[in-house]
Amino acid sequence: MSYKKMIIPKVSIELGDNLYIQIKDVSFIPFKAGYISGRPEDCYPEEPAECDWKDENAKLVIKKRVRLTSNTDLLNSLKLEYGIKEYDFDCDPALAAEYYEQIISQIEEDLQNDR
């Protein structure tokens, strides 16, 4: 994994049943392990992962399962289909900041799963 800054398109943290904080375009710098053996001048401390985003990119999102109906066959009988409808609201920047560590953990988990 490189240690350069990357942009994560979307991070979603579940707060409760059907309630999420979603943040788009998260700037992320991964954790960098320190080096503590060898000569003192060759050693350096570890650097924790960091992330940042624009306040307007953080939203509170409610996801609801909704029933969709459509005519699907020649006899015009109804076939019931279900989908997820999302309702988003502005999120107070302080609320999103409270989940900073969880956001980093979610990004690291998503990156690990993409490998």
Per-residue pLDDT reduced to its tens digit, 59-107:
999 999 887 765 554 445 555 677 889 999 999 999 999 999 999 999 9
Cα 7 to Cα 4, 10, 14, 115, distances in angstroms? 10, 9, 21, 17
Give the dihedral sign, CA 47/12/99/110. Answer: negative
What is the pTM for the complete model shown? 0.75
Partnered with residue 39 across adjacent β-strands are none
In a domain, residue 52? The reply is yes
Contact 48, 34 (CB under 8 A): no
pLDDT of residue 1: 44
pLDDT of residue 8: 95
In a domain, residue 1? The reply is no
Task: Tell me the residue range of the domain where 94 lies.
Answer: 6-114
Cα 91 to Cα 11, 15, 50, 56, 88, distances in angstroms? 14, 13, 20, 8, 9
In a domain, residue 90? The reply is yes
pLDDT of residue 84: 85
In a domain, residue 36? The reply is yes
Contact 93, 1 (CB under 8 A): no
Total number of domains in the chain: 1
pLDDT of residue 2: 46
Q: What is the pLDDT of residues 3-46, one digit of tens each?
A: 688 999 999 999 999 999 999 999 999 998 888 888 888 888 88
* Among candidate residues 105, 115, 93, 98, the one with its CA nearest the CA of residue 28: 105
In a domain, residue 66? The reply is yes
